[in-house]
Amino acid sequence: MIEGLSREDIIADEAFMVAQGGEMPEVAFYSALYYLTDDEEGPAFELSAHDIGRLQEAVVRRYQTIILRDLCSANRNTSIYRGVERSAANWQRLQLYARRQNIDISAFQAEAGRALLLFLKEECEAVIGRGEESVINCSAQRLLAYAERLGVHLDTEVAQWRRLF
């Protein structure tokens, strides 16, 4: 055991690092698993299903954070903004991960769909209304496919979206 930390604290720290771990949550997850179980310098735990579940939940939380980050208009002209293309790619990664781990992400799918709609409405206002340059960094086809995966019908919900291209 690492001096001064309980088993619970160590696993919680690893889950925190996965949830805050950058652009590749699954890599952080597998690094945490390795550290906790097999790394010579790690605690050599035998993880329960509950312990692994906590780490898996951290992966989902991180994906959610980075997906929504790139659907937030406040980020559109900042260095943290990666764009709709990255959000769409991360949504696909989250879907695959959730399917493999049998995790229900339907509530987040609806949240991400609402975020995409709001982002696109604000982007239309910025581009069409104020004459700003669009920050949409994917093709119209890719945006349409992403919206459909999130359950959003762009033509009926954001009538002017095609003018962003």
Per-residue pLDDT reduced to its tens digit, 112-154: 999 999 999 999 999 999 999 999 999 999 999 999 999 999 9
- Counting residues of the chain whose pLDDT is more than 90, the rounded percentage is 95
Residue 1 confidence (pLDDT): 53
Confirm if 136 and 164 have CB atoms less than 8 A apart. yes
- The percentage of the chain sitting over the pLDDT mark of 70, rounded to a whole number, equals 99
pLDDT band at 81, cuts 50/70/90? very high
Q: What is the pLDDT, as a whole number, of residue 21?
A: 83
pLDDT digits (tens, 9 = 90+) for 40-76: 999 999 999 999 999 999 999 999 999 999 999 999 9
Which residue blocks in the chain are alpha helix, DSSP H?
A: 7-19, 25-37, 49-69, 84-101, 106-124, 140-149, 154-157
What is the model's pTM?
A: 0.91
Residue 39, pLDDT above cutoff 80 = yes
Backbone torsions φ then ψ of 44, nearest 5 degrees: 55, 50
Q: Is the pLDDT of residue 102 over 80?
A: yes
